[in-house]
Amino acid sequence: MLVLYPLKLPWCSRMGYHVPHAFSYLAAASDAAIGRATAPGGKKEGGAPHKNLKIIKDEDVRPMMGAFVRSLGVQCTYCHVQSNFASDENPKKETARMMITMAHDLNTKFPDGKTHVTCYTCHRGKSIPETDPPAPMQQ
C-alpha cells in the first residue's frame, strides 16, 4: 500500500485503521485552534525536537515534508525560510497548514473512513493546481 501510494499523508493513512491515532490527531488540531503551539504527545525523533508544530505530530514531520515536496513539485524553501524550519515567516507555511486541515476535513466526509484526498490529489506535482481541463484537441 505505502509503495503504491507513497504520497498518502501518514496520519491520514493510519486514520482508517487506527482510531486512537485519529483522536490524538483531533486533540492536536484543537490545540492549534486555541493557538497553543505545542508538539502533540509522542516520541521525539533523533535530532533537535520540533519547536513549532501546530497540527502534525513530531514523528510525522519527516515523511510529510517529503510528501509535500513531491506532491507540489517544490523545494523545502517554498514554504520555509532558509535554515529555520520552525519560523512561520514564509506565508506559504500557514497556507500549507490550512491545506492540511482542509484535506483532513474532506477525508472525514467519505463514509468509508479511508484517505481519498491527499495533497497530490489536487496538486499533481504543481504548486498551484490546474482548475480547468485542457482545451479540446485540435482535429
Cα–Cα distance measured from residue 38 to residue 10, given in angstroms and rounded to the nearest whole number: 19
Question: Which one, 128 or 137, has the nearer CB to ligand HEC?
Answer: 128
* Helix (DSSP H) and strand (DSSP E) numbers for the chain: 5, 0
Question: Which one, 16 or 61, has the nearer CB to ligand HEC?
Answer: 61
Q: What values do phi and psi take at 84, rounded to 5?
A: -145, 80
Q: Who contacts 75 (Cβ-Cβ below 8 Å, separation ≥6)? A: 69
For residues 92, 100, 1 and 49, what is the CA-based torsion angle, rounded to 10 degrees? 70
Site for ligand HEC in 111-130 (CB under 6 A): 117, 119, 121-123, 127-129
Site string for ligand HEC, 33-72 (x = CB under 6 A): -----------------xxxxxxx----x---xx-xx--x
Query: Grid coordinates 467519505 are at which residue?
Result: 110
Residue 8 binds to ligand HEC (criterion: CB under 6 A): no
Stretch (H or E) spanning 102: helix 91-108
DSSP class of residue 120 equals H
One of 27, 33, 95, 108 touching ligand HEC (CB under 6 A): 95
- Give the binding-site size for ligand HEC (rule: CB under 6 A): 36
CB of 111 to ligand HEC, least distance (A): 18
| Residues at the contact surface with ligand HEC, assessed by CB under 6 A | 50-56, 61, 65-66, 68-69, 72, 74, 76, 78-80, 85-86, 92-93, 95-97, 99-100, 103, 117, 119, 121-123, 127-129
